Amino acid sequence: MADKKQPAEGPQQDSTRKEIIDVDSERDTVQRHSSPSAGSPGGPPLQIEPAPGTPGTPGGAPFQVAPPPGSPGSPGGPPLRVAASVALSQSFVAPTDDAALWAAIRNRTEAIRGDRYDEFIARVLCEGDAAGDAVCLPEGDDRYQEQDDRYRRPRTTIAGAINAKRAELLGATSGYGVDAYNLLKYATQAFLLLEAGVVIQSPRNPLTGAEGPISDFVPGEASRIGDRITFEDLEGRLEDYLGKSINVPGGLPYLKRIVAALAAGLKEDSPFCEGALTYRFSCPSMLELIWSYWHEEGMLVQTMNAICMRFQNRRGPSERDPLANLEIDPLRPLNNLLWGYIQDEYNRLTVPRRAYEYDHHYGLKIIGKAVPEIRSADSRSKFIEAFHNLLYRTAAFYREDADTTVIADGFSLLSSLREVHLLLAEGAHNQFGDLPWTSRAEMLMMQWILGRTEMREFLRGRAMVPYSERWMGQVDTMKKLQGWTDTTITHFRNLAVYGEQILLSIRYGDWSEINNQDNAKIWARYWRPEIQGYIHAYLAATGVDLSEDIVDFRGAPARYVQPSSLLEARIGQGSQSEIATSRASRALSSAGVSFAALPAARRRALNPARKE
């Protein structure tokens, strides 16, 4: 029979102890044992309810714990000391959807830098390896020629076309003419086609051109958005950002708004049909012409022109040509490329063409002997004022935001962003898509040629200066030889790179529809390294501090003056100072007195500093 358990009856039961009687009918035995009591090991928890009205019970007095008399914190005792630290932090603003677009801008501008271009040319033209897949085209769709059933020619990819032209050049018997330069030109266009666009991609392997592992964290994003993020997560955020708003699928919200206003059902097509140009809407190139402007102000184009004139055995425009005494023999390995570059001059953009477009995009003008009087039909005369006001307000926001006792206001930033966004949109017409692309390709080739070892041997620059890219030392050396300016190309290169990133984030952001100041705050915090880098480089190049508070109205117009005028004034100021010093030295020498031996006060009196 099964065992039966019966609770004991009568007095054997109480509130804290229960006795159980086990009856085994087969063995005719009775066992008695007790269950664990409340609060005992293995028993239920002991619950004690205070009497009604005691301190701490509902309706009772508050429960108070008084320290023992004489203890720290008690009446008459020593003060209670607690080791604690208090820190104020910056006001928190949640990241917005725009951060994915800004990450894409950083990713693509890094991908088309000069050193990445050098790696691409070395990989494709020197080693004959794969160029990689295009970032903006579907996989396997980077074709430039459709299949022709009549001649049975297969589709050719961009990488395949480059390899075919390279094989054709290497198979030529003569080795003369412009074929080498044309191949470099073709590869440069392919480089931009492969890398430019609104995408996020891990850096390519410099040896194979393949995309790196997608699980790696994005460098530099943790300090901007406050969290580490992988390329895969960031690509997902960008897809969400591009897929939302209005009824036009796929694309930036700003461009969707433009296309929706133009016509319903506008689709991408070839330039011979009615529709938007292929990939101009869904994947714009993300190139800004201000990159070319600052490199031109930094004397990149002038340096290349001076070398080409020496290559043709022509003297420069000035009476004294410093390159005339340099032996050109080190450039012999570049003969074929320089010949093709000079012969292709009629196909390159002229200085007036770029000057007119600088004025149309940003209201920026360049000054020089090769620049005619500009008579523009449409100029952005308010852009410099609006852009520099934005940078000034951003610098003021940084000062307020660093003060943890206040919450910085972001509405002034938002208003300035809208103003610059509208001005950039007004200049996005006519040659907007093609001229920045062509100018970028031409200047990348100039940088590549100037970065060659033969150029360094020809110009003999300073080897110990840490430049960001290989070509920069040759430009500084040329400026020193020609006496153009002593401002290093590093500052102009920073103005170009940082300025492009800042303007891209303003141009393609949907600022006209944003009313939340948090978007402007996040924008300022995200782009702080680039904005402060641009302000510093502008001060170093032009002498004008865009972040300085205006306490005297006489100093206000300086920040709205054309940068080219400021650069010309600084060059003229340096020249006049040298002339004055030379005149004073000659006068003292004729009297038998050394200028250097004079006291400092006397030297300053003879050569006073030029006032602004």
Looking at per-residue pLDDT, the higher value among 395 and 89 belongs to: 395
Q: What is the pLDDT of residues 222-234, one digit of tens each?
A: 888 878 888 888 8
| pLDDT: which is higher, 273 or 252 | 252
176 versus 19: the higher-pLDDT residue is 176
Helices marked H in 172-299: 179-195, 222-225, 231-243, 253-262, 290-297
Look up tokens 């006291």; give the residue.
599
Residue 540: which pLDDT band, with cuts at 50, 70 and 90?
Answer: very high
Of residues 431 and 32, more confidence is placed in 431
Residue 151 has a pLDDT of 37
DSSP notation for 41-64: TTSPPP--PPPTTSTTSTTSPPP-
If you average pLDDT over residues 116-137, what whole number do you get?
A: 75
Helices (H) and strands (E) in the chain, counts: 21, 7
Angle between helices 300-311 and 472-482 (to 10 degrees): 70
How far apart are alpha carbons 219 and 228 in whole angstroms? 9
Tell me which residue of 433, 79, 475, 480 sits closest to 280, measured CA to CA: 433
Is 15 a residue whose pLDDT tops 50?
no
Tell me the pLDDT band of 126, cut-offs 50, 70 and 90: confident
Domain positions in the chain: 4-34, 306-380+439-486, 567-606
Phi-psi region of 57 (alpha: psi -120 to 50; beta: other; left: phi over 0): beta
For the stretch 184-200, pLDDT in tens is 998 899 899 888 888 88
**Which one-letter DSSP state was computed for residue 462?**
-
pLDDT confidence of 141, banded at 50, 70, 90? very low
pLDDT score for 436? 93
> Locate tokens 């890398």: which residue?
195
Determine phi and psi for 89, rounding to 5 degrees.
-120, 165
The pLDDT value recorded for residue 349 is 94
Pick from 57-66, 286-295, 396-405, 532-541: least confident? 57-66
Query: Tens of pLDDT along 388-411?
Result: 999 999 999 999 998 888 888 889
Give residues with Cβ within 8 angstroms of 273, minimum separation 6: none
Cα gap 6→21, rounded to integer Å: 5
- How confident is the model at residue 147, as a pLDDT? 43
pLDDT digits (tens, 9 = 90+) for 445-476: 999 999 999 999 999 878 889 999 999 999 99
Instruction: Report whether 593 contacts 556 (CB < 8 A).
Output: no
- Sorting pLDDT into bands at 50, 70 and 90, what band is 600? low
Extract the runs of DSSP E, i.e. beta strands, from 241-368: 268-269, 276-277
The answer, yes or no, to whether residue 8 has pLDDT greater than 50, is no
Cβ 344 vs Cβ 181: under 8 Å: yes
From 47-56, 84-93, 259-268, 560-569, the region with the lowest mean pLDDT: 259-268
How high does pLDDT run on average in the chain?
A: 78
- 132 close to 193: Cβ distance less than 8 angstroms: no
Q: What pLDDT was estimated at residue 171?
A: 61
- In the chain, what percentage of residues exceed pLDDT 90? 33
Q: Which two tokens mark 348?
A: 């390159």
Asked whether 577 and 571 are in contact (CB, 8 A), the reply is no
Residue 534 CA neighbour count, 13 Å, CB half? 24
Query: Residue 468 in contact with residue 533, Cβ under 8 Å?
Result: no
- CA-to-CA separations, 444 to 164, 287, 300, 403, 471, in angstroms, rounded: 22, 13, 10, 43, 10
Please, which pLDDT band fits residue 14 given cuts at 50, 70 and 90? very low
Stretch 10-34: mean pLDDT, rounded? 50
Q: Is 535's pLDDT higher than 70?
A: yes
pLDDT for 374 beyond 60: yes
Which of 68-82, 284-298, 560-574 has maximum average pLDDT? 284-298
